[in-house]
Chains A and B, each alone.
Chain A
Amino acid sequence: MENEEMSREGEIDAAAVVARLIEKATSSTDHEVDPRLLKAIKSAVRSSDDEVRDAVRALMDQMKKQHSQVRYLAVLIVDELFMRSKLFRSLLVVNFDQFLSLSIGFRRNLPLPPPSTIASTLRSKSIEILEKWNASFGIHYRQLRLGFDYLKNTLKFQFPNRLENATRLQQERREREIRSKQILLNKFQSLKERYSLIKDEIQSTIDEIGECIEILHAKEADESIPAEDDEVEEYRPPALQQIRLDSLKEGEKVQESTENKAVFDVLRELHRLLVSKHLPAVQEWMSVLVRVDITDKFRDTALKEFIDLRNNILSVKKKCSELGCVFDDGPVQREDEEDLWEEGKIEINVAGESSGANSSVEGSAHIVTTDNGNSSAPHASKSSDDHVLNLTPERSKLLAEAPVVTWGLFLDNWGSNRDAPANQRGLELEGHWGRVDSDAVIPAEKIAELSVHRTLYKEQPVEIQPCHAPLKKGGLCQRRDLKVCPFHGPIVPRDSEGNPIEQIPRKGLAKGEPSAHAAEVVSVLAETETDPNMDKLTVEQVFKQAVRNVRERDVDVKTSKRAKLARVREHNEAVLRDAAVTSTSYSEAFGEHNEAFHGNKTGTKTKKATLSSMLRKKITAKDRIAQRLLSTRATDASSHQLMQGEDSKYREAFPNQW
């Protein structure tokens, strides 16, 4: 498009091309210059020096316009050209103070024009650009240096300081690296000194563990026999086979007993030492050796030995665990925890009429307790809950139905329909003139009438869904309204990005259109007849189609009506024009122009954002309130009210004056 335009323009006036392009590029409401236009501008400017001069002139003209959007786009174009053309740079810096005052607005008597939001982005962008220019070309252009210096040191503008920040970060990183290297080196040195010591220590621990294990294995032989005897007697239901095998495996392990307790204690101690201290230490030393930057014979050998050592430790650890002596502190703690947990459970279960978990476990015969009490505890309590529910199914059914009522006096004789004595407490009513009937009874109906249960209606707390429409500045609208968000219209379910999820429009249902009803009926029928999942889809589609059809029909009627009217109008206009138009070409042209204008207007009914519309002030809620409150009628009324109030006060204070 640009090319066509350019060629057309080229015939008329080559010089005006750039100016035209720039004007076109700056008269947009976007936040960026149209890339195609920008490219066209660049290629046009590149062609000759005259074009560059024209571009500078045209851009400065655009910069002088009283509209921040125009200036903003002009600044973007200037930046593009400034970074590329030397001639452009040298021409622009001649009037650099003017450019800065128009783009940054540092002169108090020449502030940036509206709209203010764009003006602020214009300012920040210009400052950023100025810093960039100064960093890359400042050395060749005194004006750049001067402008930067003036804004920074005299007016104290805040520059983003990109370059400096980057270098500072890099510097910091480098320092950190150097420091960490130093630390590594120190560690390495200390390792070198204590190497043999560490190695011996670990080796001795490993050896000790090995000895302990040997001692245990020696005792193991006589313990394993009775376990095999048990196996013969056992009958094997398939479900229990697994448990059985597991327990057998357990049995193979060396069991702790009073005899080998001392050995186990030692072993436990050593294992803990090995796992919690030596293993991490070895790993750390290994990482130190890997990271350190010194190539050294000691390093290689040490690394090798450490790897061996680690493998050794790991194998020992594995052996220990195979032996069944993984002696973490875990199990002991877990017992404690379970106790606590069970207590809590009991308290809750009091209402549910269940006793403590342990007792219920023991009481019920058909729950198999495994040999390990620790692991069974949670199962047991869970099953106890099940058990209670199983025992009284009718009760649970009732409980599910029962209404939840707030506590009140009426609960005292809930469900009873007995008569009640009027004088319940035996008060003696002496001196009472009337007849005293101490046996007076209030009939049951009356009591029922009196104790009618009243509650205040409490609305169910409904969680109001947030609007979740996407906002311009990013994020989703968090406003919570029942039906309609004042900013984004009716609230519809939306996905995580704020796009409305396609749905059956509820409006159709609400309106109760016949077709919708029919569709519903159809859907019900369909559901009953065939596979509901399959049909639901098609039914929904049918439903949608129906709604669409009805709407289209409506629209068709309307459009046809409109078209008819338009045709009539057109005809009228044509007749009028024929009557009125004399032979002058001017009036004909005028008429045509008018028509074109009309056509355009009807064609694009939706208002497009224009530069002038950006300048128009948006009417906010505040404005509306202000309009209400500050209108003369309102102020008059309020002052009148105040006057009246004062009057009445005065009259009250001095009632004897009139």
Chain B
Amino acid sequence: MWKEVRAREEGALPPNSFASRIRSRRTSTIELSHRKEIVSPHHGAVNSLQVDSIEGRYLLSGASDGSAAAFDVQHATDHEGDCLIAKHKSLFVVDKHLEFGHKYAISSVLWYPVDTGLFVTGSLDHHVKVWDTNLTQVVVDFKMPGKVYGTAMSAIATTHMLIAAGSEDVQVRLCDIASGAFTHTLSGHRDGVMTVEWSASSEWILMTGGCDGAIRFWDIRRAGCFLVLDQSRSQLGRRPPLSSNTLSSNSLKKGPISRTITSGQYSAKGLANQRKSPLGSAMKQLPSLRKGQFLSKGSTVQRLHPGMSSGQNRATAHYGAVTGLKATGDGMYLISSGSDSRLRVWDIESGCNTLVNFEAMRLLTTKALQLAISDDSSMVFVPCMASVKLYDVWSGMVCQTFHGHYESVNCCCFNSHDQELYTGSNDRQILVWSTPYSAIFEEEDEKKKSVTDQDNWSD
């Protein structure tokens, strides 16, 4: 560490890489925090956790007893045992005793991405509610047709403030906070929708995973879904970088789509389309924004939509239900977990399974899982029954296994500001996983510790 500080001083190491090195090192040494404790006020399983994206300071949790709570993860409210243990008690709790509280379990919570003045809860009592944080009162209430399994808001949206809500119902609804009404009803899934996720690169793209095993991509500006991920369509490994071989990347990108098109009824037109597009135009497209690419693809698929070829429409991403979706920070890949106890990494642009083989795991099949991804998108935290496993996204190897919970873990949430992981489980606990104190603090603490926690060989 000191060597790097030296290199940074001399200017040999650029600030970005210095920071990212330290971050990744801290991430790789995460363990159960002995010093930091979140006092869970919940009486049921913790289903959802989120840290606000602005300060990385407030943690929101939703639990099966219909309660949601917020914690300040930076400033402890209590100390215990000579300041050895910092206890973080909830700043506020909303539960069913409140007039407009949720009656049944809260399945998902999320902060309003712009500031922490609002937060959203989705519950199994068919409601999605928007709360004012300071008043702890319901501001907007959306009645959904069925139990709400997942909600999401786009962190990069500038032109809309829509809550995407997946429920027992086959339709995904988009709720507008400004008007208090549904703006969209997206139909296409054949079963309930477990999880929804906005694209990290385009504010218009929504990804949904359903109990029918399908992951569908929607462009909210157009009708219908434009892509269904198919586990049998695959590309080997990571997509080659754009700069290296544009031609091959182009063909890779276009290939599978054209193949599906040929099977459809508009095959001739599709072929013509492909033939028409000259090499040059593809070259021109490349530097343009990814958003643009989606647009162009959208145009081809849009025509397909009303009677999208049955073969593509029935494609599945997992056997069984899709229980979790997480897009990487750069918006290029999507990681999905299914009730077939598989983790898959999808290339969003091509819609292909990248065939990363993750080591054997066992996942909860009945509930939506909340995956977490490290800030450089190289690691993914996956709740595997009573433990949490840290996988390398590109090799699929287990880097670390976190044991601490006594029952199934439902959600994990990574705080990239502090490199801390928060996990919520059926045993009602919210655990903090962080880097152990560095050597500097250790010495100071030794004095305190020495009294009780030392080797004690009497014989």
A residues within 8 Å of B by Cβ? Answer: 39, 42-43, 46, 83-87, 89, 94-98, 136-137, 139-143, 145-147, 149-150, 154
Contacts and interface: CB of A to CB of B under 8 A. Distances in A.
B161 interface: no
Contacts of B84: 139-140
A120 B429 CA distance: 28
B81 A146 contact: no
B428 interface: yes
B457 A42 contact: yes
A437 to B, nearest CB: 108
Contact of A97 (B404, B428, B457, B459): B404
Q: Counting chain A CB atoms within 10 Å of each CB, which of B32, B37, B456 scores highest?
A: B32
Secondary structure call for the B interface: loop
Contacts of B32: 142-143
B452 A96 contact: no
B441 to A, nearest CB: 15
A146 B404 contact: yes
A139 B81 contact: yes
Contacts of B37: 142, 145
Given A97-B386, A140-B84, A154 B404 contact: no
Contact of A146 (B80, B429, B459): B429
B455 interface: yes
B420 to A, nearest CB: 14
Contacts, number: 62
B437 to A, nearest CB: 12
Nearest to B387: A97
Given A140-B84, A142-B33, A97 B453 contact: no
Contact of B403 (A86, A94, A139): A94
Interface of B: 32-34, 37, 80-81, 84-85, 386, 403-406, 427-429, 431, 449, 452-459
A98 B403 contact: yes
A95 B403 contact: yes
25 contacts: A43-B459, A46-B457, A84-B456, A84-B457, A86-B453, A86-B455, A87-B455, A94-B403, A136-B452, A139-B81, A140-B34, A140-B84, A140-B449, A140-B453, A142-B34, A142-B37, A142-B431, A143-B404, A146-B404, A146-B406, A146-B429, A146-B431, A149-B429, A150-B406, A154-B427
Nearest to B429: A146
Q: Can you list the 9 inter-chain pairs with the closest CB atoms, starting with the nearest?
A: A139-B81, A140-B453, A150-B406, A142-B34, A86-B455, A84-B456, A84-B457, A142-B32, A46-B457
A84 B85 contact: no
Given A140-B34, A142-B37, A150-B427, A84 B386 contact: no
B427 to A, nearest CB: 6
B459 A39 contact: yes
A51 to B, nearest CB: 13
B455 A85 contact: yes
A384 B38 CA distance: 93
Contacts of B449: 140
A97 B457 CA distance: 26
Q: Counting chain B CB atoms within 10 Å of each CB, which of A96, A139, A143 scores highest?
A: A139
Given A42-B457, A46-B457, A139-B81, A147 B452 contact: no
Contacts of B33: 142
Given A140-B453, A146-B406, A154-B427, 8 more contacts: A84-B458, A87-B455, A95-B403, A137-B452, A139-B84, A140-B84, A141-B34, A154-B406
Contacts of B454: 86
A150 B428 CA distance: 9
Contacts of A137: 452-453
